[in-house]
Amino acid sequence: MTIDTLPASIDGDERIEIAALEDNSLLGTARIENALDRPTLVDLYIDQERREEGIAQRLVEKGMEWARCTGQIIYLYVDPENEKARTLYEKLGWSYFRPEGNSEVNVDRCREGAVDGDGCVWMRWRPSKEDDAGH
C-alpha cells in the first residue's frame, strides 16, 4: 500500500488530498483544507471492507507529516460519539481545545461532553521541538 499526498487548489483555496492506494485501488482518503482560517483535517474516509487495517492512522500520520514539514498546527473536529476516531487521534498526540478561546481542554471534560456550539469536539496537533529538529 502506498500513501500519496496530492496538493490541490479549488478557487484559489489550497488543500491537500491524501490517498491510500493498493494495486490501483483507492483504499481511503483524507483532506486538509483551510476551514475557519486554519488548516483542518475535514475529511477521512476508509473503504468499508478495509477498515481495521491501520489505513486511517497512516493517512492521518501523512497529514501530520505535512504539518511537521510546513510548521503548521493542524486541526480537526469530530463527533463526540465517535470514540474510535477520538481514541486514534489521542494515540497520535492530538489534544482537545476550544476554538473560541484557543485553549487546551482536559480530555476527561471532553469525554463528559465539552463540545462547541455545533456539537463537535475540536482537536489539534502541533509539531514538537523534536519534530523541528528532524526536518
Rounded to whole angstroms, the Cα distance separating 132 from 44 reads 26
Quick one: pLDDT at residue 119? Answer: 56
Rounded to whole angstroms, the Cα distance separating 76 from 103 reads 15
3-state secondary structure of 48: helix
Q: Is the pLDDT of residue 91 over 80?
A: yes
Average pLDDT over residues 83-106: 78
Q: Are 18 and 3 in contact (CB under 8 A)?
A: yes
| pLDDT, tens digit (0-9, with 9 covering 90-100), for 15-44 | 889 999 999 899 999 999 887 678 889 889
Quick one: pLDDT at residue 21? Answer: 92
Quick one: pLDDT at residue 50? Answer: 95
Residue 129 or 74, more confident? 74
Contacts of 11 (CB under 8 A, 6+ apart): none
State pTM to two decimals: 0.79
DSSP state string for 62-113:
HHHHHHHHHT--EEEEE-TT-HHHHHHHHHTT-EEEETTTTEEE-HHHHHTT
Q: What angle do CA 25, 30, 31 make, to 5 degrees?
A: 130
Quick one: pLDDT at residue 100? Answer: 63
